[in-house]
Amino acid sequence: MRKRVHIALAVLLVMLAGVSAWLGLREREPVYQEKRLSFWLENLHRERMARRQDERDVEAIRQIGTNALPVLIKRLHAQDTRLKQLIMTWAKKQRLVHFHFKSADERRYEAVCGYEALGPLAVVQVQSLSDTLTSTPSPGVRQAAAWALGYIGPEATRSAPALFRATKDTNDFVRGLAFEALGRVRPDPHATIPVLVAGLADPIGAVRSSAAGALSGYGQEARLAAPALFRATQDTESGVRMSAFWALSDIRPDPRLSIPILVTGLDDPFWPARAVVARALQNYGPDAKAAVPALIKMVGAYHSAGIERDPFSDALKAIDPEAAAKAGVK
């Protein structure tokens, strides 16, 4: 009896899959090189998940251009019905028929990949994406909207009020993506820097890290954020500390204030953070001479470990070539 039930459900699954595929075919999509937009979006999605990028997929979506936008905005709003969720759960458990239902999360991520490929070409949808970010109940859709606005970049400055509001969203991922988007869009610094500084006090470490990273994009326009970033270099989360050091590297506040902070950062327990500190000191050049003894110590430790090339050697050469030569740095 149980086997008959499984067979019946499998048949139903296949029928539903067929209906889904038929509905997909009915959706009019732009074509490039005789392949529908869906093909290129799916390819790009797979590449992103594998941490690769095939420029052919990106170029195909750019060639399709603004004709892709109606499909992208529809996918960005994708939602799974309760029935579809039940079917997907059952499909994963049974072994009679192998079929993959594309979830709403996957469809939204494909849309985000499309917006990333199009960049500023998607500017005509800034208002629609902003409205979605502030009014849609679904956290997943709000996340995708913030992501998309960030990929549009500086052309999306009209989205600033929506992004500011999203930095207070109840969903952690929405807040983090809103801060990341602000770092890419870079609206008026006078309005944005205080919002980013406030983000350094967010209760979630990943969100604080995103706020610090966004400050980095403003360079020296964000010098007023230096005190908050100094505090962030003592954060309990290693990712936040590293992002704060990176921001200080690009902002370059008064060396009399920042060099002591950076020298302390050379002892950070997180190796990538120490490497970022070296980058920051290197950017100061001769103004960072107070860091030379600490850098020589770091260089010596790395040479003892058999590592000849390290970020500390590069920083030392940029700050004090004579001291670097005496330390045996080539």
Flag whether the pTM goes above 0.75: yes
pLDDT at 278: 96
Q: Is residue 30 part of a domain?
A: yes
pLDDT at 310: 83
Give 247-264 pLDDT, tens digit per residue.
999 999 999 999 999 999
Give 219-243 pLDDT, tens digit per residue.
999 999 999 999 999 999 999 999 9
Tokens 């998607």 sit on residue: 122
Instruction: Measure the CA–CA gap between 136 and 125, rounded to whole angstroms.
Output: 16
Q: Is residue 4 part of a domain?
A: yes
Q: Is residue 190 part of a domain?
A: no
Residue 5 has pLDDT above 50, yes or no: no
Q: Is residue 102 part of a domain?
A: yes
Give 112-138 pLDDT, tens digit per residue.
999 999 999 999 999 999 999 999 999
Kindly report the number of other CB atoms within 10 A of residue 79's CB atom: 13
Q: Is residue 136 part of a domain?
A: yes
Residue 93's pLDDT band, with cuts at 50, 70 and 90, is low
pLDDT at 201: 98
pLDDT at 79: 78
Q: Is residue 232 part of a domain?
A: no
Strand pairing category for 35-36 and 31-32: antiparallel
Burial of 330 (0-12, 13-18, 19+ CB in 10 A): exposed
Instruction: Measure the CA–CA gap between 17 and 98, rounded to whole angstroms.
Output: 11
Per-residue pLDDT, averaged over 8-13, amounts to 48
Q: Is residue 54 part of a domain?
A: yes
Instruction: Measure the CA–CA gap between 96 and 10, rounded to whole angstroms.
Output: 7
What distance lies between CA 294 and its chain's CA centroid?
33
> Among 173, 221, 227, 181, which Cα is nearest to 200's?
227
Q: What is the chain's alpha carbon radius of gyration, rounded to the nearest angstrom? A: 25
3-state DSSP assignment of residue 167: coil
pLDDT at 191: 97
Query: Domain count of the chain?
Result: 1
Give 22-52 pLDDT, tens digit per residue.
444 445 799 999 999 999 999 998 888 777 7
Residue 314 has pLDDT above 60, yes or no: yes
pLDDT at 290: 95
Per-residue pLDDT, averaged over 274-297, amounts to 95
Print the domain residue range for 141.
Answer: 1-156
Q: Is residue 6 part of a domain?
A: yes
pLDDT at 8: 46
Instruction: Measure the CA–CA gap between 97 and 160, rounded to whole angstroms.
Output: 48
Helix residue ranges per DSSP H, 167-254: 172-185, 189-199, 205-216, 226-232, 238-251
pLDDT at 25: 42
> Among 222, 136, 158, 149, which Cα is nearest to 179's?
149
DSSP β-bridge partners for residue 197:
none
> Among 204, 150, 205, 196, which Cα is nearest to 177's?
150
Residue 13 has pLDDT above 80, yes or no: no
